[in-house]
Structure 1
Amino acid sequence: MITDDKQINSCLEQICEQGCRSVNQVIQQLELGEVIEDFAHLSRVQQQRLLQELKSIMAVYAVTGSCEV
């Protein structure tokens, strides 16, 4: 489990299953403050936490170069 928030964990799993490009797209949308229908049920704080977690996950791939975007 990545966080102690089950809703965020569920969203993380859903996003990450779609691959690197989708993850990066979601990161970009969240950074721009866009409403993403699949995650609209999350509070603003949860959405920011989701963004932080996604960035942390993708940072690992950036270091290893194992995720082509």
Structure 2
Amino acid sequence: MDSNKVNQCVEALCKNGCEAVRATISSMEMGVRLEQTRDLDQEEAARVLRELRAIMAVYDERP
């Protein structure tokens, strides 16, 4: 697994904002292959999804 590719992909996706990241997560959960993840293998794409979920969990937490 190329951690560098994964990190770059996560960073690029996050630059699009929270709503775009939520849409990306939903698409990936439905098995949609996205342009942003086309160069990743299945394991790398799964890691991107896990990392995006973890990032958004911080924003979705309510005090």
TM-score by length of 1: 0.83
Please name the residue that 2:20 is paired with: 22
Let me know the Cα RMSD of the aligned residues: 1.5
Q: Which runs of 5+ in 1 are unaligned?
A: none
Partner of 1:33: 31
Quick check: which one's helix share is greater?
2
Other-structure match for 2:50: 52
Local SS of the residue matching 2:61: helix
Aligned length: 62
Give CA-to-partner distance per residue, 1:13-48, whole Å, 9 cap, x none: 101111001100110111001010121110011111
User: Which residue identity lines up with residue 33 of structure 2 in the other structure?
Assistant: V
Flag structure 2 segments of 5+ consecutive residues without an equivalent. none
